[in-house]
Amino acid sequence: MNETPSKSPSWLIALAWIVVALPLSWGLYQSILKSKPLFMGPAVAAAPPAPAPK
């Protein structure tokens, strides 16, 4: 066998992780934004919707 060992380039490993990390980070950010009302205190979280302007 005359196969020359060649290491996987670092840029390829970084690129592969970036490709999956980008959508994951976006999804995480969206979920944290969505969960914000839960941390706004029970009074605010349970507050009824504001009445429509007359």
Partner 1 sequence: MLSFLDREHTTAPPGYSRWLVPPAAIAVQMCIGEIYGFSVFNLPLSRTLGITKPAAGDWSVPTIVLCTYSFGLILLGLSAAFFGKWVEKNGPRKAMFASACCFCSGLVIASFGVRIHSLPLLALGYGLVGGIGLGLGYIAPVSTLVKWFPDRPGMATGMAIMGFGSGALVGGPLGVVLMDHFKSATSVGVSEAFLVMAGMYFVMMNFGALIVRVPAQGWVPEGYTPSTETRKLVTAANVSVDVAWKTPQFWLLWMVLCMNVTAGIGVLAQASPMAQDMFGVSAAAAGGFVGLLSIFNMGGRFFWSSYSDVIGRKGAFCVYFILGCALYLLIPYSQKLNSVTFFGAIASVIISMYGGGFATTPAYLRDMFGTMQVGAIHGRVITAWSMAAVLGPQLVTNISAYQKAHGVPKEQAYNGTMYLMAGLLVVGLICNLLVREVDPKHHHKEWTT
Residues contributing to the site for partner 1 (CB under 8 A): 3, 5-8, 12-13, 16-17, 19-20, 23-24, 26-28, 30-32, 34-40, 42, 45-49
DSSP state at residue 7: P
CB of 34 to partner 1, least distance (A): 4
Instruction: Write the DSSP symbol of residue 51.
Output: P
Q: For partner 1, give the closer residue by CB, 5 or 53.
A: 5
Residue type, 11: W
- Nearest to 14, CA basis, from 22, 4, 6: 22
Is 10 or 54 the residue whose CB approaches partner 1 more closely? 10
